[in-house]
Amino acid sequence: MALTNQDEIIRRHLDMVGTLTCMEAQTVYRVRSLTSVISRLRKDGMEIRSERKTDPTGQRYVRYHCVK
């Protein structure tokens, strides 16, 4: 399966930093559909764990973690 440029950018981020949220991906990398990127990376064999969280305002979000 061929990965897109955005997939490679997110893969590098997860390898270097370890975690990422949708908001961070949108703000830093202009990736609007992080869920799709994560799905492609998982299909390509990357182990990524999803952690559901809630911020202080009650907004729920997912933080993705690279499993090494």
SS3 string of 19-60?
EEEHHHHHHHHCCCCHHHHHHHHHHCCCCEEEEEEECCCCCE
> Any idea what the Cα angle at residue 35 is, between residues 31 and 43, rounded to 5°?
115
Write down the pLDDT at residue 2: 75
Domain ranges, ordered by start, for the chain: 5-66
Mean pLDDT to the nearest integer, 44-62: 97
pLDDT at 1 over 70: no
Using one digit for the tens of pLDDT, what is the confidence trace for 3-43?
889 999 999 999 999 999 999 999 999 999 999 999 999 99
pLDDT at 61 over 70: yes
Task: Name the fold adopted by 5-66.
Answer: Arc Repressor Mutant, subunit A (1.10.10)
Write down the pLDDT at residue 36: 96
